[in-house]
Amino acid sequence: MSESTLCTMNEAVDRFVQDGATIAIEGFTAFICFAAAHEIIRQKKKDLTLCRLTPDLIYDQMIAAGTAKKLVFSYLGNPGVGSLHCIRRAVEKDIPGALEIEEYSHFGMVGRYIAGASNLPFFPLRSYFGSDIIRANDNIQFIESPYGDDQVAVVPPLNPDVAFIHAQRADIQGNAHIWGLIGVQKEAAFASRKVIVVVEEIVEESVIRHDPNRTLIPGLIVDAVVHEPFGAHPSYVQGYYDRDNPFYLDWDRISRDHDLTEKWLNEWVLDVPDRAAYIEKLGSERFDNLKPGEMLAGPVDYGLYS
Amino acid sequence: MSESTLCTMNEAVDRFVQDGATIAIEGFTAFICFAAAHEIIRQKKKDLTLCRLTPDLIYDQMIAAGTAKKLVFSYLGNPGVGSLHCIRRAVEKDIPGALEIEEYSHFGMVGRYIAGASNLPFFPLRSYFGSDIIRANDNIQFIESPYGDDQVAVVPPLNPDVAFIHAQRADIQGNAHIWGLIGVQKEAAFASRKVIVVVEEIVEESVIRHDPNRTLIPGLIVDAVVHEPFGAHPSYVQGYYDRDNPFYLDWDRISRDHDLTEKWLNEWVLDVPDRAAYIEKLGSERFDNLKPGEMLAGPVDYGLYS
Amino acid sequence: MNETMNYSPAEMMIVSASRALRGSRVVFVGVGLPNIACNLARKSHSPTLELVYESGIFGANPARLPLSIGDPTLVSDSMSAVSMADLFMLYLQGGLVNVALLGGAQIDRFGNLNSTIIGPYERPKVRLPGSGGACEIAINAQKVLIIMRLKKRAFVEKLDFLTSPGHLEGGDTRENLGIPGEGPELVITDRALFTFSKSTKEMTLSELAPGESVESIKAEVSWPIHISPDVKEMDPPGEEELRIIREELDPDGMYR
Amino acid sequence: MNETMNYSPAEMMIVSASRALRGSRVVFVGVGLPNIACNLARKSHSPTLELVYESGIFGANPARLPLSIGDPTLVSDSMSAVSMADLFMLYLQGGLVNVALLGGAQIDRFGNLNSTIIGPYERPKVRLPGSGGACEIAINAQKVLIIMRLKKRAFVEKLDFLTSPGHLEGGDTRENLGIPGEGPELVITDRALFTFSKSTKEMTLSELAPGESVESIKAEVSWPIHISPDVKEMDPPGEEELRIIREELDPDGMYR
């Protein structure tokens, strides 16, 4: 780990994502690593189990591309826009193939990652009372408190084979600073057997060391670091770029039709060699428009104690 | 909460700390709010239940002063120095009075705060197997996982009446930035019915808002804010001052003798009207020596999205 | 825009929801109508109302109208941005949320909500989003306000799927399960308001939007709806409320 | 400093512990002797050894010798500073810690440790610090190295209190409880090293410090200690090891 684990996305996916693997690409509305998803599609990985609270466009695309056999999730939506039509098509009509689903609520998914990350056999939460979710998913159980008349739901650990975590910056060992909506990235990373950190910027170790409370993912658990600027487009990275909302609206139209979806996947994923080519194809003006103004955090002094 | 909750330590203790209350003054080696402890001693509060992973000198002093009837803890030590002689005297010899103890491991205390903070009837952890700690404390139980042959220990929630949380800076509503050893401060604050934030600096709301990931304690749960510079002396505040190690060594000597301890408490606590007077009595050179050099965190841009 | 009135059905719902927030301290909020309603409450009767977003944001101060609960404008200049674990464990389950606003595709007489499927679960006719946080919000928020358009196919005799518990089978069935929050208090629609009976916990028509009648509402509810003995007319949106919505909160009319 | 040798008993322990860390990736460490031993390992045979402190610090790069595991110099310039919840849940219980160094006031033949009391619990003769994190460290670290001075009153037939489980009653009693970590592997003292039998898990004298004999060690152990058939002499500290300790890690000789 004190060695560089830098590699390309092509190498990372080739090396760590096996057919049939369980994958988590997390990030709540933000930090969604489409760069990883597109490379997985390009490498024609199959029979994946895809885990994510909000499958979002990223899994809509992966499922339309036929990479997945199963989806573990808690909310299917194109945020602020509407439905995820590809996933609906898979669930409602087996197009492009049957898709097994395993459904929780958000808190249940969070609990599964926490249990997975901390080697607990279950995680307790107050949810699911009276809900049909427990009828659809018998992984959810209830247990009694040993301290009196109180019952809580429990969910089992989730330990993906591989997690992709998108971050603003990391050193070459994968020690990663993340700020903004931190979501479940930490829990998903610690829960996963292999962790790939994908960043907007590679920085000197000293940048990380000067703000150790900001290190959400320690290099200790990181297997590969991929430098992939704009790797979360069309989602956003706090302070680096905004969500490309026109794309989310376009996708609503494209994804309603499977042929149109396939055409889009061909043009923007399969016929594009890598992320850099995708960014170039989109054009730099598109990204100019997504650049936010500056809002810097104030000074924080850790102190030199020598 | 969008109003100021600023007050003096005298007012905060008078208003929120009742005789017989359960109190948590947390902070692992750092951020130990001696200012709160000394005011509690001055106001001659009685029959308190004191909760802390590491009772440290702060509870050694409070117990020697006769404020406590019970201690809930996980490690009794003068860090880097040796024993807590006052607590030993209370436990071994009932001086100055009998002290009930309720003992966990660190992880057990952490779990109790998490359960208390999140309204869980228990928190599961892998500890205590085969340990006599469970014989000394029947609050610790074991439960079976519903997912097969696996057993974990559980601890019950801890919900102190009042928590004192020392921080580097907060606005007048108590939204507090903390960096360094964040310990269990967040969990202890959320677990407590009343929260008093004690800070080195009161800052404008905008300072907090420019780094929302740094806000460990939201004003939402804060009942009072006390501006008390050097309020954690002789412990330290990251970036503001160092631990006053000579005092920790002195205390080892003073605290070995109850009369000497009482004399110290009279001179440095009871005969001192407030923290400002204590600081003045110590002298400014003492604090000059504790000032660390500068080590600033690097820039972090949250972006202006307008 | 209702032709005979100077406000739209959406504005009626926003204003009703805003008014129902009076007296609450902390509201758990999604974007869209609920977001506008909460901000209207802040800008009118409840300036100290605190908003908590499911994405982990407390004390947001957005520089633009957010597109989703995960919009970066909700993060920048907010008081606190936390993990989802903290959001669900400390804020929601910890009991800090006084009131939450929820919706769904179907609702039954006890305020139970379906946002999961239409048709059978294994082979749904329509696959809806699912719970997201709704199930635990319905359970842990101290009380719940439901916002939905009034339509017969939404106000159903029996849900296709119970995603988020309301009063379950009524009476004390919710309380008996040890559910922390008190459940739905009010159903806010574009055409009427419904409360819940204290004893049976069944939905009761309590207020009518201007132009509606008991009969017009009955026609949109699939079960024989209870009618409050003193059904009154809803107070239409006030001028100041409409001004705040139109000029400050939704100047582009995205949610009208 | 041992008069006939050019190193102290503490230096012997530091060097032995350092050597026992060879091959480990992540060590859970306290300050004092263990801290020096870990840093000696890093500066000699294991430059990639990672240190995790109980205070929540990973990848520390202290600008001075830390006074405690909570010293601010361990925070500044570290890779990551996390809450105690994360430290215990994600790092320790999560199984990332390959090896931990523990001590105690008493140890028994199965490597169980007492750091709680001497005498009866309700009215102890000596109240010791208690567990701190030791109990869960002993349970969750993949393996444990114990560092203690060899003294008869510490190597006891029966502990006054079992704070941190070693091999419990030996054999498979530890494994049968479902304890994740494998337990104590080595007991490092100033005068001898002890390993544990693969089958019975009983402590076995395996190496003697220069100048010691089987008899001199037996005299300091309260139970009839097993002796390895091939007891050998411990390798004394090398010149380079001593130089690193004295010049780089502990120039003021605080821990010698």
Active site residues of D: 54
Q: Are B231 and B34 a contacting pair, CB within 8 Å?
A: yes
Share of chain D above pLDDT 70, in %: 98
- CB count within 10 Å of CB B276 equals 15
Distance from CA of C241 to the nearest CA of B (A): 23
* Cβ neighbours for C213, distance < 8 A, ≥ 6 positions apart: none
Tell me the nearest-neighbour CA distance from A124 into chain D, angstroms: 15
CA distance A181 to chain C (A): 6
Given a cut of 80, is residue A191 above it in pLDDT? yes
The residue length of chain D stands at: 256
SS3 letters for chain A? CCCCCEECHHHHHHHHCCCCCEEEECCCCECCCHHHHHHHHHCCCCCEEEEECCCHHHHHHHHHCCCEEEEEECCCCECCCECCHHHHHHHHHCCCCCCEEEECCHHHHHHHHHHHHCCCCCEEECCCCCCCHHHHCCCCEEEECCCCCCEEEEECCCCCCEEEEEEEEECCCCCEECCCCCCCHHHHHHHCCEEEEEEEEECCHHHHHCCHHHEEECHHHCCEEEECCCCCCCCEECCCECCCHHHHHHHHHHCCCHHHHHHHHHHHHHCCCCHHHHHHHHCHHHHHCCCCECCECCCCECCECC
Which residues of chain A does C136 touch, with a Cβ-Cβ cutoff of 8 Å?
Answer: 105-107, 125-127
Residue C134 has pLDDT above 80, yes or no: yes
CA-based nearest residue in chain A for residue B118 = A125
- Three-class SS of residue D28? strand
Residue A3, pLDDT score: 62
- The side-by-side arrangement of strands in the sheet containing A151-155 is A123-125, A151-155, A141-144
Which residues are CB-neighbours of B289 under 8 A, at least 6 positions away? Answer: none
pLDDT at C1 over 50: no
Q: Is D61 on the interface with A (CB under 8 A)?
A: yes
Which among A219, A220, A306 has CB closest to D64?
A: A306
Q: Is the pLDDT of residue D2 over 60?
A: no
Q: Which residues of A touch C79 (CB under 8 A)?
A: none
Q: How far is B271 from chain D (nearest CA, A)?
A: 31
pLDDT above 90 coverage of chain A, percent: 97
Mean per-residue pLDDT over chain A, rounded: 97
Question: A6-105+159-288: what fold?
Answer: Glutaconate Coenzyme A-transferase (3.40.1080)
Q: Where are the domains of chain A?
A: 6-105+159-288
Judged against a pLDDT cut of 50, whether residue A1 lies above it is answered with no
Residue ranges of B 205-234 with Cβ closer than 8 A to chain D: none
Q: What pLDDT band is residue A61 in, cutting at 50, 70 and 90?
A: very high
- The reported pLDDT for the residue numbered A2 is 47
Q: What pLDDT was estimated at residue C202? A: 98
Residue pLDDT, tens place only, C162-178: 999 999 999 999 999 99
Closest residue to D130, CB basis, from B75, B184, B292: B75
Going by pLDDT thresholds of 50, 70 and 90, the confidence category of residue D33 is confident
Interface check C168 vs A, CB under 8 A: yes
Residues 100-129 of C with CB under 8 A from A: 112, 116, 121, 123-129
**Higher-pLDDT residue of C156, C67:** C156
Note the pLDDT tens digit of each residue in C87-102: 999 999 999 999 999 9
CB-nearest partner of B306 from C25, C64, C78: C64
Q: How confident is the model at residue C35 (pLDDT cuts 50, 70, 90)?
A: confident
Our CA angle for A11, A15, A17, nearest 5°, is 110
pLDDT at A100 over 50: yes
Note whether A183 contacts C: Cβ–Cβ < 8 A: yes
B238: which chain A residues are within 8 Å (Cβ-Cβ)? 302-303
* Residue C184 binned pLDDT confidence (cut-offs 50, 70, 90): very high
pLDDT tens for A192-205 read 999 999 999 999 99
Give the pLDDT confidence of A227-268 residue by residue, as tens digits: 999 999 999 999 999 999 999 999 999 999 999 999 999 999
Rounded distance between C-alpha atoms, residue B83 and residue B54, angstroms? 12
The model's pLDDT over D81-129, given as tens digits with 9 standing for 90+, comes to 999 999 999 999 999 999 999 999 999 999 999 999 999 999 999 999 9
CA distance linking residue A216 with residue A176, whole number of Å: 6
Cβ-based contacts under 8 A for chains A and B: 147
Residue C24, chain A, CB below 8 Å: the answer is no
The band of D4, judged by pLDDT with boundaries at 50, 70 and 90, is: low
Tell me, what's the pLDDT at B3?
A: 62
B 69-128 near D (Cβ less than 8 A)? 73-77, 79-80, 83, 87-88, 91-92, 103-107, 110, 114, 125-128
pLDDT at D3 over 60: no
Instruction: Tell me which of A7-11, A57-61, C33-37 is least confident.
Output: C33-37
Of B124, B177, B210, the CB nearest to A295: B210
pLDDT digits (tens, 9 = 90+) for D188-243: 999 999 999 999 999 999 999 999 999 999 999 999 999 999 999 999 999 999 99
CB contacts < 8 A, B to C, total 78
Strands B215-217 and B224-227: unpaired
Instruction: Name the residue among B70, B237, B79, B243 with its Cα closest to residue B170.
Output: B237
Confidence of residue C255 (pLDDT cuts 50, 70, 90): confident
How far is Cα B248 from Cα B254, in angstroms, rounded to an integer?
A: 10
Is 80 exceeded by the pLDDT of residue D30? no
d(CA B85, CA B66): 14
Residues of chain B with pLDDT under 70: 1-3
Better-scored residue on pLDDT, C253 or C229: C229
Domains defined for chain D, CATH in brackets: 9-249 (3.40.1080.10)
Task: Identify whether the C-beta of residue A282 lies closer than 8 Å to the C-beta of residue A247.
Answer: no
**Contact flag B209-C77 (C-beta cutoff 8 Å):** yes
Of residues C117 and C3, which shows the higher confidence score? C117
Band of the pLDDT at C5, cuts 50, 70, 90? confident
Q: Which listed residue (C3, C11, C50, C54) is catalytic?
A: C54
Q: What is the pLDDT of residue D35?
A: 87
CB contact under 8 A, B118 and C94: yes
Q: What is the pLDDT of residue C30?
A: 75
Task: Assign 3-state DSSP to chain D and report helix, strand, coil percentages, each to 5.
Answer: 25, 20, 55
Note whether D56 contacts B183, CB cutoff 8 Å. yes
Q: How confident is the model at residue C33 (pLDDT cuts 50, 70, 90)?
A: confident
Please give the mean pLDDT across all residues of chain C: 94
Q: Specify the pLDDT at position D171.
A: 98
pLDDT tens-digit profile of D35-62?
Answer: 899 999 999 999 999 999 999 999 999 9
Test B297 with A292 for CB contact under 8 angstroms. Answer: no
Whole-angstrom Cα distance, residue A222 to residue A189? Answer: 8
Asked if residue C196 has pLDDT above 90, the reply is: yes
CB of A103 less than 8 A from some CB of B: no
Task: Output the pLDDT for position C4.
Answer: 60
Lowest mean pLDDT among A64-78, B193-207, D57-71, D135-149: D57-71
Measured N-to-C along each axis, helices A85-93 and A258-265 cross at an angle, to the nearest 10 degrees, of 130
- Three-state SS for D20? helix
C164 shares contact with chain A (CB less than 8 Å): yes
CA distance B246 to D252: 17
C interface mutation test: which of B190, B216, B222 has the most C CBs within 10 A?
Answer: B190
Look at B305 and C76 and tell me if their CB atoms are within 8 Å: yes
Instruction: Please calculate the CA angle A244-A248-A253 and round it to the nearest 5 degrees.
Output: 140
**Whether the Cβ atoms of residue C164 and residue C113 lie closer than 8 Å to each other:** yes
State CA A23 to chain mean position distance.
9
| pTM recorded for the entire structure | 0.98
What ipTM does this complex have?
Answer: 0.97
If you measure CA to CA, which chain B residue comes closest to A145?
B121
* Chain B residues within 8 A of C64 when measuring between CB atoms: 305-306
